[in-house]
Structure 1
Amino acid sequence: MYEKNALNNFKDVLGKYCAINQFIELSKRCFVAEHQKEIQKRDTFVKLATEYSITLTNYDADAMVTEICRSYIVNVHLCFETFLKDVCQQINKCGKNEYKPRIQEESYLACAVRNICGNSISDDMKPLYELCEYYRLIRNSSVHD
């Protein structure tokens, strides 16, 4: 059986995550536009949810809209982290140099970079690396706060 390489698998899974996120975003925008009045008051929000057999645990619509946006980052980062884990496994399995396992506090990106290029990131790649690490921190605060 053919096994996709880590990059192709990442692109496929990311495409699915993006399609789901786009559908959720469309649904959210339609919902907010059509039910703006009902979601502003708890009692009308409860009534609306009950009509669709949904029990809400939070009735702060503005907070939920913000959390939906944060969930996009969580989903995409989860996909990216899975890709990085796959890359680290491939380096460990097929790399020509000795693989140095990930340290507990270290991100999978840092581990991959350390094993691929010995932490020597070119100047043009540093902003991309820092952006990925920034989104990892947002993901962590979204999941753990």
Structure 2
Amino acid sequence: MFMGEYQHSIDAKGRMIVPAKFRESLGEHFVITRGLDQCIFGYPMDEWRKLEDKLKDLPMTKKDARAFARFFFSGATEVEVDKQGRINIPSTLIGYANLEKECVILGVSSKIEIWAKESWQQYFEQSAESFDEIAENLIGFDF
């Protein structure tokens, strides 16, 4: 399980250090793709395969299912962690998530998320204002 928030930077070549606490669970190779809310999702290979199986079960006769599968799979790429603990993020994903210099890497249960620092701060502030309401709307969830 991934949890926590870490700040790292991305260099001009698109390389970013993966937090040491995440590296073992992610493995030497893992998949990154476009996520929701303009961030990048990162999945260990076993979690990626589970997600891939779920997406394969979507009814491709439905326009929304086709659109989501295209969005998700077209941005996916397998990355390798180098000896310095870095991955190389493709320019298409850097552009999608508006990554510039400062990044925030989040552990979110079975995946990681990579955010532009400013985007994360804005999202967090907006969500924090309605956190109580969001929690109330999650049926059957108790802390």
Does 1 or 2 have the higher relative contact order (CA < 8 Å, sep 6+)? 2
TM-score with structure 2 setting the length: 0.29
Q: For the pair shown, which has the larger CA radius of gyration, 1 or 2? A: 1
Q: Which structure features the higher share of strand residues?
A: 2
More helix by share: 1
